[in-house]
């Protein structure tokens, strides 16, 4: 099977998964206790006329599957209805916040990769040395410190005391945004670094003890070749998996971090929307998160396919 065929098969599987998930997401409305019309309007707006209007608009009298069909068709066109709190269309509420979170996630991910992978490799190669012990200590401390505590600590040191970075807000324009996002990204990366560092250390340790490394050295291959073509290539597969998971679950991390740093992103939007039972927004966010996770997984799978010949040949035989 060619790469394109493999990719196509995976995309079809993802579309099917999303369709199934959308059904569950839509069912949230029916599962919420009380009259769906009142849920959609919010109790304070539920005048009899408004209730009648919303019933009419969403077809709440129709059978469940018809309702779902109408919702799904609208959702495909980017229409998730109106936010209950702000009465704005859900899509515009989300897009206004999307980029903050995307930048935060990418920024944190880059910090994570740049710190965790080299440190993990070093720790694995110099097993038991001071650098390995340092890496283990960092991992342990970071793992058992709550995210909000790290956030407050960063704000106190770098914003209040040193005044290097702003402690809250989104900023305007590219550089200002980067400047504003530095502390939040650091806080988010602190959550992610231990996971990736441990994975990298374990993966490299597993590979450097293999016979094929000894065999490669015995044939006089250069150190750079052994590192790139042997250690990193074979160690990259498990690291890739956890890196993908970290990226996919950035949104979950963003929920806390955005609240600590008063950022107007998807994480803080999710918290406030759940708090006010703003169901259309919650539905859209849930679906968006699912798509994010699935697409990240797809990218990882395709990378795996390119990196691991066993997978390529297994695909070819199937």
Residues engaged in binding another protein (CB under 8 A)? 127, 209-212, 214-223, 225, 229-230, 233-234, 307-310, 313, 317-318
Residue 304 host element (H or E): helix 279-307
CB of 226 to another protein, least distance (A): 9
Local structure of 89: helix, strand or coil: strand
Backbone region of residue 34 per phi and psi (left: phi > 0; alpha: psi in -120 to 50; beta: other values): left
CA distance 213 to 229: 10
Nearer to another protein among residue 76 and residue 317 (C-beta) = 317
Nearer to another protein among residue 216 and residue 286 (C-beta) = 216
CB of 260 to another protein, least distance (A): 42
Nearer to another protein among residue 57 and residue 210 (C-beta) = 210
CB of 167 to another protein, least distance (A): 46
CB of 130 to another protein, least distance (A): 16
SS (H, E, C) 22-87: HHHHHHHHHHCCCCHHHHHHCHHHCCHHHHHHHHHHHCCCCCHHHHHHHHHHHHHCCCCCECCCCC
CB-neighbour burial class of residue 26 (10 A; exposed 0-12, middle 13-18, buried 19+)? buried
Q: What angle do CA 27, 28, 34 make, to 5 degrees?
A: 105
CA distance 124 to 121: 5
CB of 299 to another protein, least distance (A): 19
CB of 296 to another protein, least distance (A): 23
Nearer to another protein among residue 23 and residue 307 (C-beta) = 307
CB of 207 to another protein, least distance (A): 10
Nearer to another protein among residue 57 and residue 225 (C-beta) = 225
Residues 6 or more apart from 235 whose CB is under 8 A from it? 200, 203, 204, 206, 207
CA distance 33 to 10: 37
Nearer to another protein among residue 9 and residue 229 (C-beta) = 229
CA proximity to 251, closest of 280, 304, 294: 294
Nearer to another protein among residue 63 and residue 309 (C-beta) = 309
């Amino acid at each position: 099977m060619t790469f394109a065929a493999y990719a196509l098969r995976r995309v079809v599987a993802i579309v099917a998964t999303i369709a199934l998930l959308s059904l569950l997401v839509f069912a949230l409305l029916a599962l919420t206790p009380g009259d769906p019309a009142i849920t959609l309007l919010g109790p304070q707006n539920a005048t009899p006329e408004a209730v009648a209007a919303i019933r009419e608009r969403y077809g709440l009298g129709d059978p469940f599957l018809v309702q779902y069909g109408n919702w799904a068709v609208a959702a495909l066109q980017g229409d998730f209805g109106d936010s209950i709190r702000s009465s704005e269309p859900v899509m515009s509420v989300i897009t206004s916040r999307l980029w903050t979170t995307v930048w935060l996630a990418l920024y944190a991910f880059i910090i994570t990769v740049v710190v965790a992978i080299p440190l993990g490799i070093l720790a694995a190669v110099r097993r038991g040395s001071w650098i390995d012990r340092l890496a283990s200590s960092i991992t342990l401390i970071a793992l058992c410190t709550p995210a909000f505590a790290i956030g407050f600590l960063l704000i106190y040191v770098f914003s209040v005391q040193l005044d290097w970075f702003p402690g809250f807000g989104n900023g305007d324009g590219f550089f200002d945004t980067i400047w504003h996002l530095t502390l939040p990204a650091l806080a988010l990366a602190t959550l992610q670094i231990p996971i990736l560092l441990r994975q990298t250390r374990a993966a490299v340790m597993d590979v450097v003890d293999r016979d094929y490394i000894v065999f490669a050295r015995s044939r006089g291959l250069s150190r750079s070749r052994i590192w790139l073509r042997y250690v990193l290539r074979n160690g990259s597969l498990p690291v890739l998996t956890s890196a993908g998971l970290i990226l996919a679950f950035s949104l979950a991390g963003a929920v806390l971090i955005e609240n600590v740093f008063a950022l107007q992103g998807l994480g803080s939007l999710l918290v406030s929307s759940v708090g006010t039972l703003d169901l259309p927004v919650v539905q859209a966010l849930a679906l968006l998160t699912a798509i994010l996770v699935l697409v990240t997984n797809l990218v990882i799978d395709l990378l795996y396919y390119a990196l691991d010949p066993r997978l390529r040949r297994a695909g070819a035989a199937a």
